Structure 1
Amino acid sequence: MHPFFKHILAAAALGASLLAPLAASAQSADASLYQHLGEKPGIERLMNDFVTRLAADARTGPFFAKANLPHLKEQLTDQVCQVSGGPCEYGGADMKTAHADMDIRKGDFNALVEVLEQAMDAQGIAFADQRQLLARLAPMHRDVITVR
């Protein structure tokens, strides 16, 4: 796992409630991350790569064995588009509801993050932009991890 994300997870676990307002502020401030990710076409490519890797990874694959992968790609594209400051609106379930019955542990979440980092590397996304996206997504861990 990338050292930066380990730091983000540690901060979140120790009460990074400060990250959520900062991320929300960063989202509304500008759309530069959205542009750096290649706007919607770039985010679609990233999510296609990411979901393909998730399904193939031995650690995360079982969580996605029965998933509608094309629908998941669309939902993740809209979510990342919105989180990165783009014009999309994520209309899916909130993270707590979507993951309630999945028995996700911290290690499972960390594996997903590693797969996302692999996909971002493969798509040539700059490290600074990777850090920014991970920082904006990190607060979701509180609702995704269901087994404490």
Structure 2
Amino acid sequence: MQYTLADMIQVFRNSRTLTLLLLIALTPISACTLTTQRSAPTLYEELGGAAGVDTLTTDFIRKIAADERIKGRYRDSDIGRFHRMMGEQMCLLTGGGCTYTGDDMLRTHAGMKITRVEFTAIVEALMLAMDKNNIPQGTQNRLLELYAPMHNDIVDR
């Protein structure tokens, strides 16, 4: 004879057995659900972690060095320091848990008289570096969104 769920509930209505059966039945589902749920990867992880950020930063600097509109700005710069600061900043902004040891963007760019054209060229260099590294468009947009608010601290008005 087959019993429906309603029949089984009627039989065990006032019994602790029903509670126990329900707990036993639901426990594997709950445990399975809890162990299979993972949080979404951070932007840092989407960029490939430390190695990905390092590669992206290297390619970004190479794109800047190849761009006639902006390469002169970096002629007298300590490129090693620039690379480290960009890597630290990108790591921090994207959730990698790094410490940024550089100055804020306003102090870093004070008196440089960076134009909107130069700022755009730098953004384009970053976009080209991300394309070179096959970073998905959505990830690129999320990274650019983190840097966009810095515009007002970088471009001289």
* Normalised TM-score (structure 2): 0.73
CA shift, 1:107, in A, is 1.1
Q: CA RMSD in A?
A: 1.4
TM-score by length of 1: 0.77
Shift in CA distance, 31/144, structure 1 to aligned 2, threshold 3 Å: farther
Where do 1:1-148 residues align within 5 Å?
Answer: 32-146=42-156, 148=157
Letter in 2 for 1:101: G
Between the two proteins, what is the percent identity of the paired residues?
A: 36
User: In the alignment, is the contact (CA less than 8 A) between 1:31 and 1:86 conserved in 2?
Assistant: no
Q: Deviations over 1:73-108 (max 9, x none)?
A: 011000000001111111101100100121101111
Distance 1:90 1:30, change over 3 A: farther
Structure exhibiting the larger radius of gyration computed from Cα positions: 2
1 CA distance for matches of 2:147 and 2:41?
16
- The answer for unaligned runs of 5 or more in structure 1 is 1-28
Query: How many corresponding residue pairs?
Result: 119
